[in-house]
Structure 1
Amino acid sequence: MTIFSALLRGLSAALLLVGGVAQARPAATATPALWQVSDADTTIYLFGTVHVMKPGIDWFNGPVKSAFDRSDLLVLEIIEPDNPNELGATMGGMALAKDGVKLSDRLSGEARARYQAAMESSGLPWRTFDLFNPWMAGMALSVAPLARLGYKNDLGAEKILRGAAQAAGKPVDALETVEQQVGFFAGLPMVQQVQFLNATVDGLPEMEKEFGDLLTYWQAGQPDKLAKSMNESLEATPELAQVLLIGRNANWAKWIKARLEQPGITFVAVGAGHLAGKGSVQDQLKALGVASHRVKD
């Protein structure tokens, strides 16, 4: 699975792709990593999330739950609309090709054949997607296989955290808007959009194993292993990594540094890939002179 799949929020709902029911299983206790940034009167927790999950993973406990309970504010990447049709409308409007070129015609003969076969095997109508730019098809192909494997957006960490915040009366804020986040993909040059789509198609055979490995590392609180696996996926698409990962990490680090000027306790939850490896939020904070440290179990 590529890192770009890991950046998805509620896009499965927007694309009407969430489905599949996993068999019930005993809960597996997870110990995902948690970091802290603080000064005399401010504490900011940094928690890396997984956006889709299977039933039976007990992660909202221990230091993560304690830090959340202590916090005055929850900050997510975006605040997902309650109505998935709103997200779908935003994505659809930004994804429509304005130049009249069919998506399939943007691909070379061999790449086109692999793409169309991948869409058909995933139950996605490639002819309908011919109306869209390549990034939209890449996202759809990133989500559909996981949905069929039993991963569910409603079990993702953001959903659980936001529900807990609402139940506790905690305010919820966001680092980006839906339009901004979709815009990172929609604003990619066409060459990079095609590159993203082709890389997604090429990675489909290994998606189940790779995503399973990433989830295992997340559950075990092993960000170094998660980063190593993630970086292997990024090697083929460094330009995309700069736009979709490293550049955003830098923006968030600036936000965190500014937030230290406000007293209180804030719980920031972003995709786990943003808090692992070279160019992570922690690396960007260090460059700004802000120290972060891992919260021990």
Structure 2
Amino acid sequence: MIKTFGAALSALSLALALPACAQTQPKPQPAAQDADPALWVVRDQDTTIYLFGTIHVLKPGMTWFDEAVKKAFDASSEVKLELVMPDQSEMQKLVMATGVAAPGTPPLTQRLPADKRAAYAKAVTDLGLPANALDIYKPWLAATQLSIAPLGKLGYDAENGPEQVITAAAKTAGKPVTGLETAAQQLGYFSGLSEPAQLQFLTSTVDELPTLAKTMSDMVDDWAEGKPDALAKEMNDSLKDSPEVAKTLLVDRNQRWATWIKARMAQPGTVFIAVGAGHLAGRDSVQAQLAKLGVKSARVIY
């Protein structure tokens, strides 16, 4: 089984702008929780690049933008995210252009294995939608909808996510914020998956929904406690069951980002990079790809 929820959350920050699914506003969480997520650094004589792994949605009250993370951010003159989100209307157009099935394609429900259709229909109606509401979508988009949409009911919100916090802080400090990828590129990675891979993505998502709350809680706990290996196991290990998805969503992207970092090391300055935490852990991590390019990274201990 693919851990599609972990993969989607790790890889698809743009999923926060997906259309159609009604979102339940999270309730404020009164108790604060200190978090010390993992941070790495790549450094030479005149260049420093920090690598910070994020969870794209969090509950209110978690304090992580302090200590070493804030110090690294403050020392940086520029910020790199996975992508800088376009405005909502443009994002909606991009999603619909890449996520809607071609005319004449059988409804999504009919393309699912017969033994998965009832569970799929329940997953959709649990969002407050008609059972056929996602039938015009490609499987990857339906899978991402089903993974992300329930998070609001569990109290998670993009407004509390590191990307939003970092972007706001950068704006206040006058730091430029740019993306390693564009929204069109990220959407293209998913849309470019083969039909069998997309359907596996969707059916695995349906299988995982009953344990969504625990999966998310475990991932956030591992992130907050600075346990990247445990987080990688939850997010990435089962991707080995789908080599196409793993290559497209994880390995190839990590390789491209590592290549960018190596090239950036030729220029002096300090950069703060924040990407999904699943990209900074495991055997195919950005750091592992950097090592293959002869670039050393080190965990910042704090």
Which residue does the alignment assign to 1:142?
147
- State the alpha-carbon separation in 2 of the partners of residues 195 and 203 from structure 1: 12
Partner in structure 2 of residue 67 of structure 1: 72
- Aligned counterpart, 2:11: 7
* C-alpha displacement of 1:6: 2.8
Distance in 2 between the 1:249 and 1:148 partners? 31
Which residue in 1 is equivalent to 2:301? 296
Deviates more, 1:22-31 or 1:56-65: 22-31
**Could you tell me how far 1:17 is from its partner in structure 2?**
4.1
- My pick for the range that moved more, 118-127 or 139-148, is 118-127
In the other structure, the counterpart of 1:203 is 208
Counterpart mapping for 1:180-259 below 5 A: 180-259=185-264
For 1:205 and 1:273, locate their aligned partners in 2 and report how far apart those are by CA, in whole Å. Answer: 22
1:111 aligns with 2:116: yes
Question: 8 Å contact 2:124–2:131 — kept in the other structure?
Answer: yes
CA distance in 2, matches of 1:238, 1:203: 19
Aligned counterpart for 2:101 among listed residues 83, 88, 97: 97
| Equivalent-residue separation in structure 2 for 1:261 and 1:210 (angstroms) | 40
Q: Compare 255-264 and 2-11 and name the one that shifted more.
A: 2-11
Would the aligned equivalents of 1:50 and 1:215 in 2 still touch at CA under 8 Å?
A: yes
Distance in 2, Cα, partners of 1:266 & 1:99: 45
CA distance in 1, matches of 2:228, 2:125: 35
Deviates more, 1:234-243 or 1:203-212: 234-243
SS at match of 2:133: helix
- Return closer, same or farther for 1:221/1:17 CA change in 2, 3 Å cut-off: farther
Q: State whether structure 2 residue 53 is matched by structure 1 residue 44.
A: no
**C-alpha separation in 2, matches of 1:18 and 1:65:** 31
Distance in 2 between the 1:227 and 1:11 partners?
A: 20
- Output the CA distance in 2 between the equivalents of 1:250 and 1:77: 14
Match of 2:132 among 114, 127, 130: 127
| CA displacement, residues 184-225 of structure 1 (integer Å, 9 cap, x when unaligned) | 101111111101001111110111101110100100111111
User: Is the Cα contact below 8 Å between 2:81 and 2:275 reproduced in 1?
Assistant: yes
User: Which residue of structure 2 lines up, in the alignment, with residue 55 of structure 1?
Assistant: 60
Kindly indicate whether the alpha-carbon contact (under 8 Å) linking 1:12 and 1:140 is maintained by their aligned counterparts in 2. no
Unaligned runs of 5+ in 2: none
Aligned to 2:172: 167
For 1:5, the aligned partner's letter is: L
Residue identity matched to 1:168: A
Deviations, residues 206-265 of structure 1 (Å, cap 9, x unaligned) = 111011101001001111111222244424433211110111000100000000011000
Opposite residue 33 of structure 2, the aligned amino acid is: A
Measured against aligned partners, the alpha-carbon deviations of 1:48-67 in whole angstroms (never above 9, x if no partner) come to 00100100100000000000
> Aligned equivalents of 2:7 and 2:261: distance in 1?
23
Q: Is the 8 A contact 1:48 1:271 kept in 2?
A: yes
Say what the alpha-carbon RMSD is for the aligned residues.
1.4
Tell me the distance in 1 between the aligned counterparts of 2:255 and 2:261: 10
Shift in alpha-carbon separation, 1:139–1:188, aligned structure 2, 3 A: same
Q: TM-score, normalised by structure 2?
A: 0.94
Q: How many residues align?
A: 296
Partner Cα separation in structure 2 for residue 24 and residue 271 of structure 1: 23
Aligned-pair identity in percent equals 47
1:110 maps to a residue whose letter is: D
Query: Does the 8 Å CA contact 1:17/1:147 hold for their aligned counterparts?
Result: no
In the TM superposition, what is the alpha-carbon distance from 1:172 to its structure 2 partner? Answer: 0.7
Name the amino acid aligned to 2:17: A
Structure 1 residues 160 and 18: CA distance shift in structure 2, 3 A: farther
Which residue of the partner structure matches residue 92 of structure 2? 88
Q: TM-score, normalised by structure 1?
A: 0.96
Letter in 2 for 1:203: E
Amino acid at match of 2:16: S
The yes-or-no answer on 1:261 pairing with 2:266 is yes
Secondary structure of 1:2's counterpart equals helix
The structural deviation recorded for 1:2 is: 3.0
